[in-house]
Amino acid sequence: MFASLRGCRFGIARFGLSVIIPSNGLHSVSRSVFKITSIASKYRRYSGIAGSIRPYTQRTPSVLLRSAVRFASTASKTEVKKAGEKTVVLGSSAIGLSPKEKELAMKLGWEEFLTLRKKQRRISIVSSVIGTLIAMGIAWVWVASKEIDPTETIFGLDAFTVYIGGIMCVGVIGYLLGPPLIGDTVFNLTHRGIMSSYRIKQKMFLKHVRKMRVDASRQSMNIPVPDYYGEKIGSLNDYRQWLRDCNEYRRKAKEFL
């Protein structure tokens, strides 16, 4: 392999080229070549890697120069991408978190956050049912305490029909008020120690969902929107599946245009 690399160097010198590469690009090239050497030593695939490098000695000087410059630029872009990935994980530059918020967000991992989010959703569903039953029970007690004249009409309708409709409307109100009044209260009390970190993670997660979700204006009977608000994401596997569903939606929407 090193003979092949020396061949590349001598091949450039044989054609009499004076190649000037910026220091940062040369550093990226040397570091990338060192990574290739390390991988070759680890997996003992000298012949395969040497075979992939050897054809560079047989190319023309212009092609060889372009390949070297392209290789250096690719290595630099990879480093920038890796730095960007770290920034996304921390989330400080993405949403402008303060140092204190950044520290709180790092205390709670994404897997744990998604598990808590799934638990909160289940508590909200149960609290909706409880709120509905409580509201309808209170409305029924109030209706039962009134004396109803069978011949009496309300807005031209039978009194029993109006009262039953009123009980159902009160049940809907209880269903809507159950999660914020009962579910969130129970969840906050049972997880008081991590609520600050959880709220920051929730803010980061919702911002990411808004960025990655699909355009709902292209939906149809054959192309349903895949969980527009990300409510069903309860683990990293669910998140990956959600991304795949979003990509599938975009592909189908593009084909049916």
Tell me the angle at which helices 2-14 and 46-53 cross, rounded to the nearest 10 degrees.
Answer: 10
Could you give the residue ranges of the DSSP H alpha helices within 179-229? 184-190, 195-212
Which range is least confidently modeled, 3-7, 147-151, 162-166, 239-243? 3-7
Q: What is the mean pLDDT of residues 102-125?
A: 92
pLDDT at 83 over 80: no
Tell me the angle at which helices 61-90 and 2-14 cross, rounded to the nearest 10 degrees.
Answer: 130
Confidence of residue 118 (pLDDT cuts 50, 70, 90): very high
Task: Specify the pLDDT at position 52.
Answer: 42
Return all residues near 119 (Cβ < 8 A) that are at least 6 apart: 187
Which range is least confidently modeled, 40-44, 136-140, 235-239, 248-252? 40-44
162 backbone dihedrals φ, ψ, rounded to 5°: -65, -45
Q: Domain segments of the chain: what residues?
A: 2-90, 105-212
In the block, tokens 């409510």 appear at 231
Mean pLDDT for all residues in the chain: 73
Q: What pTM value is reported for the model?
A: 0.58
Closest CA to 197 of 257, 109, 138: 109
91 or 193, which is more confident = 193
- Say how far apart CA 155 and CA 176 lie, in whole Å: 27
Percent of the chain with pLDDT over 70: 63
Is there a contact between 90 and 209 (Cβ–Cβ < 8 Å)? no
For 146, which DSSP code?
Answer: S
71 or 134, which is more confident = 134
Is there a contact between 150 and 159 (Cβ–Cβ < 8 Å)? yes
52 or 204, which is more confident = 204
230 or 44, which is more confident = 230
